[in-house]
Amino acid sequence: MVDTPAWDIAPPVFELDGVDVWAHGPAGRTDMLVGVDWTVREGERWALLGHNGAGKSTILALAGALRFPGNGAVTVLGKRLGKVDVREVRAQVGAVNAALRVPEYLTVTDYVLTGASGTVQPLYGKYGPAEHARAAELIALLGLERLARREIAVCSQGERGRARIARALMPDPRLLLLDEPANALDLPSREELLEAIDSLTREYPRLTLVIVTHHLEELPTAVSHALLLRRGATVAAGPVREVMTDANLSECFGIPLTVRAEDGRWAARLRRPGREVA
Ligand SMILES: Nc1ncnc2c1ncn2[C@@H]1O[C@H](COP(=O)(O)OP(=O)(O)OP(=O)(O)O)[C@@H](O)[C@H]1O
């Protein structure tokens, strides 16, 4: 066997080393993450899968430098949380959460431009030709060209979702976190969004992506790796084809599942005894 040369290994972008996270509430202590080790390297596109309450959002909060671990070490873009100014880290991480409100009165272009200043309101004096050109490029990449001058108020949920991603990409982040990007989208909107994410990864092959979802059907073909969580602990992590097995997914979601891959897209359904698919 030939060893992989060191220069072939992409640098880590996000690392968890023995991470525990917990919280204390009226009902006592809740363990949110338990002994999680995870390394995400530049250009990898990870699916982060798990049942409700598995700890997915907690991991995204660590990756976005929005919270600290109780035990263990978290390193984002080479910076160890707790030892650096988190604002420096946050500026290089794009986070997209479908639950966040988008200002309705802005046009798609103005909304995307606000990503350059990291503000809710546009700061027009701060946007020069470079920012306008980048906004136009991202709007085209996310398939929103026709809507560039349209107000967000009249955009569909799918269009808003793609605008959120374009906005998050304005500062040219090295790590992009997508929290349930296809949540509540109808089928055409979901497919447009997944196509847009695939185009994005072709255009920016060094961009590192983490996509959180409960549904395998909501994963774009670009996904290269998967981390499966159950009750805050890792079930499996690694290249998507090795990890997304019936056994691992069944353990992850706590029900017997049959998993299929077709043209890079994934689907899962309940395995019924005596009705196994050949
Ligand atoms: N502030 C808190 N205090 C106590 N428990 C919390 C707190 N925040 C989250 N939790 C609990 O930690 C666990 C992990 O939550 P997290 O939001 O990371 O899960 P998730 O996988 O993102 O879930 P979902 O798919 O429902 O969004 C859950 O059991 C949740 O109830």
* Cβ pair 49, 217 in contact under 8 A: no
| ipTM score of complex | 0.95
pLDDT for the residue 274: 66
The three-class DSSP label of residue 155 is coil
Q: 175-179 and 45-50: which strand pairing?
A: unpaired
Is residue 278 very low, low, confident or very high in pLDDT (cuts 50, 70, 90)? very low
Whether the predicted pLDDT of 238 surpasses 60: yes
The three-class DSSP label of residue 268 is strand
Domain membership of residue 50 (yes or no) is no
The three-class DSSP label of residue 83 is coil
| C-alpha to C-alpha distance for 209 and 200, rounded to whole angstroms | 10
Query: Would you say the CB of residue 55 lies under 6 angstroms from ligand 1?
Result: yes
Reported as a single tens digit per residue, the pLDDT across 111-166 is 999 999 988 899 999 999 999 999 999 999 999 999 999 999 999 989 999 999 99
- CA nearest neighbour of 70 among 55, 87, 92: 55
Best probe residue, ligand 1, of 31, 34, 48, 58 (max atoms within 8 Å of C-beta)? 58
**Which residue's alpha carbon is nearest to atom 9 within ligand 1?**
32
Domain membership of residue 26 (yes or no) is no
Whether the predicted pLDDT of 183 surpasses 90: no
Domain membership of residue 278 (yes or no) is no
| C-alpha to C-alpha distance for 118 and 113, rounded to whole angstroms | 9
Q: Up-side HSE of residue 264: CA atoms within 13 Å toward CB?
A: 9
Percentage of the chain modeled with pLDDT above 70? 95
Best probe residue, ligand 1, of 16, 48, 57 (max atoms within 8 Å of C-beta)? 57
Query: Would you say the CB of residue 152 lies under 6 angstroms from ligand 1?
Result: no
Domain membership of residue 127 (yes or no) is yes
Reported as a single tens digit per residue, the pLDDT across 26-83 is 989 999 999 999 999 999 999 999 999 999 999 999 999 999 999 999 999 999 999 9
Helix, strand, coil distribution of the chain in percent, nearest 5 = 35, 30, 35
- Between the CA of 22 and the centroid of ligand 1 the distance, in Å, is 10
Domain membership of residue 104 (yes or no) is yes
Domain membership of residue 105 (yes or no) is yes
Query: Would you say the CB of residue 53 lies under 6 angstroms from ligand 1?
Result: yes
Domain membership of residue 135 (yes or no) is yes
Distance of CA 154 to the CA centre of its chain: 26
Q: Which two tokens stand for residue 267?
A: 């689907």
Rg (CA), the chain: 19
Is residue 99 very low, low, confident or very high in pLDDT (cuts 50, 70, 90)? confident
b/e per residue, 201-220, with b = 16+ CB within 10 A? beebeebbbbbbbeebebbb
- Domain containing 113 equals 100-172
Domain membership of residue 3 (yes or no) is no
| C-alpha to C-alpha distance for 159 and 164, rounded to whole angstroms | 9
Q: Which two tokens stand for residue 171?
A: 């500062």
Is residue 9 very low, low, confident or very high in pLDDT (cuts 50, 70, 90)? confident
Query: Would you say the CB of residue 25 lies under 6 angstroms from ligand 1?
Result: yes
User: Which residue has tokens 């395998």?
Assistant: 216
The total domain count for the chain is: 1
Is residue 273 very low, low, confident or very high in pLDDT (cuts 50, 70, 90)? confident
* Cβ pair 153, 185 in contact under 8 A: no
Is residue 98 very low, low, confident or very high in pLDDT (cuts 50, 70, 90)? confident
For residue 54, the ligand 1 atom closest to its alpha carbon is: 21
Distance of CA 138 to the CA centre of its chain: 18
Is residue 268 very low, low, confident or very high in pLDDT (cuts 50, 70, 90)? very high
Is residue 6 very low, low, confident or very high in pLDDT (cuts 50, 70, 90)? low
